[in-house]
Structure 1
Amino acid sequence: MSKALFDSFQPVSSAGWKQKIQADLKGADYNNTLIWESPEGIDVKPFYHRDENDKPWDGIPGQPEQWKIVQSYFIDQEEVVNHLVKDSLKRGADAIWLKAENSFDWSKLHHEIDPNGHTLYLQLDFADADFVQQLNVESKRVKTNSHLLLDPLGHLISNGNWYKGQQEDVALLEQIGKGDWLSNLTVDSRVYAEGGAHAVQQLAYAIAHLVEYLQQLEYSANLKPLFIVGLGSNYFFEIAKIRAMRWLYATVAKEFGLSQECHILAQPARRNKTLYDYNVNMLRTTTECMSAILGGADAICNSPYDSIYHKSNEFGERIARNQLLIMKAESYLDQVSNAADGAYYIERLTQQLAQSALEIFKEIEQSGGLLKQLKDGTIQRKIRESAKGEQTLFDEGDKTLIGTNKYPNPQDKMKDELQLYPFLKRDLRKTAIEPVPAKRLAEKLEKERLKNEEDA
């Protein structure tokens, strides 16, 4: 019966669909009415068809069978963090992301925690060769499922200076490569997303960032790269962005003789998060995390809805974790691997993002590499132009943040809720390069609303 039913329907070509759409438009121009151009310069069509692809879709190398729920903590007091880690693991987290700005006592931090019962992402935002050596010894002794994250070039881009100096920082990366880590080289592409770079720029700069390291490091054969990806609000583009990241890495890795598989840790970016009507942030992070899941991230760390203005707190962290638990345990988004494979729109979008990023990457390499373009300000200028264009769309209402520039609640008051300064801080000091500042779209509008609260 099924065969007979389907035999009754003749296949329709893309030309046939377009002809029908054109008829329904009743004289309106197809291109101007239904095709829109993204900030990346990609024309998005109203439909996609398999006959538009002249060859089978290439598989995306390294896509994981499962994704991990990650909870993050800043290391301040080791005993307190130890308690928080144990609690998170009991409540459903698969992995822990610990961030440190100073050395710490590893034994206190990991006291009575099964080293094989979870995955650890240990991110250092400082340079200390002796401490790295201690961690290397500990990683070999305990054989933990741990990634060691350190990105001096990312620090240079966001801060304007190296930790200690280019040679010392690169030597520290080589030292990390001697440890027993699941990943030993990090590219934190959130610095580009938070600065306002569009998806193609984020991809191109991340790959150029990696190649800058590959050309300076001597332990290339042992490299196990990890990309930290900042997630934006363009749902399908973000799915394709993660897929394109894997494809681009595999392309570069093949040239350097490396494994074509990398590890991707994804987190919602702060750029589109808001101070007012902050509960909408939960909706934003939910769709962003879904993009990461469907795009094939290895691990996802959700951001608490109140993280831009509240200090770390149990309620916000629990809600962030539970959003991912619901997607895994109740929405069954962990039951299918590579869910986006074969979807005509996403496959085409993946190709377009990857190819456009590859062209920018080639231009960067031909001009001397990422570091050279950072020193002469080219990268900063291009990110600034992209950020300005997005900001203009927001200011004019063409880019919407519900509760902020559309449907705001005038009764919403926030001046007494601020535990953290939620705006870009200007730090006037001498830097080696012009830094790329992380700035949210809603900052100007939010400052005006806060001032009005104070004046009322």
Structure 2
Amino acid sequence: MSTNLFEQFEATSAAAWKQKIQVDLKGDDYNESLLWKTDEGITVKPFYTKEDRTNAEFPMTPFDANICQSIYVDNEKIANQLAVDALNRGANSIEFKASKVFDPKTLLLGIDLQKTTLYFRLDWLDASFVNSLANFCNSKHCYFDIDIIAKLAASGNWFDSLNNDHSALESIVQNKSNSICINAGTYQNAGATSSQELAYALAHANEYLNYFGATSAAQFHFKFSVGGNYFFEIAKLRAFRMLWSALLNEHEAEQTEAHISCQPSLRNKTIYDYNVNMLRTTSECMSAILGGANTVLNTPYDLLFHKSNEFGERIARNQLLILQKECQLTNANTIADGAYYIESLSVQLAEKALAIFKTIETGGGFLRQLKQGTIQRKIEESALKEQDRFNNGSLVLIGSNKQENKTDLMKQDLALYPFVKTAHKKTLIAPIIAKRLAETYEKNRLDNE
């Protein structure tokens, strides 16, 4: 018997497959019947073969993705207890969110700062406090989610002013901490397409590289929101690593691997039939892991309408532990290597994003286009197309626009307001507003309960 059973079968070319499909279509046009294009112009074929391999290099290093738990710092002792408990129960990374100055010694008591990846998301900008906190942690695994451009984009205003914000960030960068964050989730949650999100993240990063110089690249880290289009989201993260590497080459900067943290998108989450959110976040976390995220922070299924609670946080963490321990998705960022479909998507997304990026740079750069409202308009156009697909039922959210459970009542269960809040204040630019697809539907349904 042959040692290789496959030697008994003749190889079939892509042309032969296509010819067979054309015969089975009985006269229908192959391109019109089976090829489809996404809203952003990505062509998806019915089958892929080794002829679709691009031989593109994806600069990725094998690792075991961090499982992150998000904790709000109101009382340092309580936050510390929650963090230590989360680490003891499987998390190996913590995101601390704070809206006021805190005591790091109390907050980080008992946490191994050299082994635990820490993220600090602060609602204010204080260079002195950040530098002091960075010096206290003294760890290469400590990241500060400081993004003055994302602050402008999401709120319409700087923390203080353009000059003061840049001056404060410059002081922090000089301290050599991991302090330059690119929050691309701002664009995805507002309705940007995958290629737009990639382009805006790249142009966003380019603004900082132009200002702080190529040597600052080692201090960058990136935050992405991951949506429900499973393979596209895997490809999106892989495409970004290609684009980041290309951008560093243009700046003649030392090649530095992009540190990427991911969180499930809020855009497709719902308050009705909310347990389906667990299925959505599981798929999205898998996309993040297979796409090569360094850290994954899962979203509790009831985040939209319940205050932070032990049950929701535990379920979110355990979803990641199941993927890690039971599904054995460790060192999983290379699993997609050689998948013809994912490689093709990655290259197409990168090409589309690069074209958008070049248009932005030709138009004066990301900040200028934000101030002119161009970025906001492009995102709004994409968001409206996606909203139309939800409204007409071609984009399905189970429990909302399909298989609605009429007995599911939510009015008395809303501990938090789950819809967009309008801030009546003067802004320098039109802000980029995050909005969920099901909001209008849910408001109407709540009114009729």
TM (norm. structure 1) is: 0.95
Could you list the runs of 4 or more consecutive aligned residues of structure 1 that deviate by over 6 angstroms after TM superposition? none
TM-aligned CA deviation for residue 139 of structure 1:
3.1
In the other structure, the counterpart of 2:131 is: 133
In the other structure, the counterpart of 2:306 is: 310
In the other structure, the counterpart of 2:147 is: 151
Deviations 1:323-350 (A, max 9, x none): 0000000001115441111110000100
Summarize the Cα distance change of 1:166–1:330 in structure 2 as closer, same or farther, 3 Å threshold: same
Summarize the Cα distance change of 1:393–1:333 in structure 2 as closer, same or farther, 3 Å threshold: same
2:227 to 208, 227, 232: 232
Deviations 1:293-342 (A, max 9, x none): 11111110000000011110000000000000000000011154411111
C-alpha distance in 2 between matches for 1:338 and 1:323: 21
- Contact 1:224-1:262 within 8 A present in 2 as well: no
Matches within 5 A, 1:339-358: 339-358=335-354
Report SS of the residue matched to 2:222. strand
2:173 to 159, 174, 177: 177
Summarize the Cα distance change of 1:16–1:413 in structure 2 as closer, same or farther, 3 Å threshold: same
C-alpha distance in 2 between matches for 1:185 and 1:194: 21
TM-aligned CA deviation for residue 222 of structure 1:
5.8
C-alpha distance in 2 between matches for 1:321 and 1:221: 33
Letter in 1 for 2:395: K
2:389 to 382, 386, 393: 393
Letter in 2 for 1:73: I
C-alpha distance in 2 between matches for 1:218 and 1:4: 55
Letter in 2 for 1:272: N
TM-aligned CA deviation for residue 425 of structure 1:
0.5
In the other structure, the counterpart of 2:11 is: 11
1:57 to 46, 55, 58: 55
Summarize the Cα distance change of 1:119–1:130 in structure 2 as closer, same or farther, 3 Å threshold: same
Q: CA RMSD in A?
A: 1.5
Q: Does 1:201 align with 2:196?
A: yes
- Contact 2:173-2:216 within 8 A present in 1 as well: no
TM-aligned CA deviation for residue 217 of structure 1:
1.8
C-alpha distance in 2 between matches for 1:344 and 1:2: 28
TM-aligned CA deviation for residue 178 of structure 1:
3.3
TM-aligned CA deviation for residue 180 of structure 1:
5.3
TM-aligned CA deviation for residue 131 of structure 1:
1.2
- Contact 1:177-1:219 within 8 A present in 2 as well: no
C-alpha distance in 2 between matches for 1:359 and 1:337: 26
Letter in 1 for 2:153: I
- Contact 2:127-2:169 within 8 A present in 1 as well: no
C-alpha distance in 2 between matches for 1:340 and 1:232: 18
Matches within 5 A, 1:353-372: 353-372=349-368
Q: Does 1:164 align with 2:163?
A: no
In the other structure, the counterpart of 2:291 is: 295
Report SS of the residue matched to 1:238. helix
Summarize the Cα distance change of 1:418–1:27 in structure 2 as closer, same or farther, 3 Å threshold: same
C-alpha distance in 2 between matches for 1:60 and 1:249: 11
- Contact 2:96-2:120 within 8 A present in 1 as well: yes
C-alpha distance in 2 between matches for 1:218 and 1:203: 21
In the other structure, the counterpart of 1:422 is: 418
In the other structure, the counterpart of 2:66 is: 68
Aligned residues: 448
Quick one: percent identity of the two aligned structures?
Answer: 50
1:408 to 387, 395, 404: 404
Report SS of the residue matched to 2:261. strand
TM-aligned CA deviation for residue 133 of structure 1:
2.9
- Contact 2:121-2:145 within 8 A present in 1 as well: yes
C-alpha distance in 2 between matches for 1:2 and 1:78: 67
TM (norm. structure 2) is: 0.97
C-alpha distance in 2 between matches for 1:326 and 1:112: 26
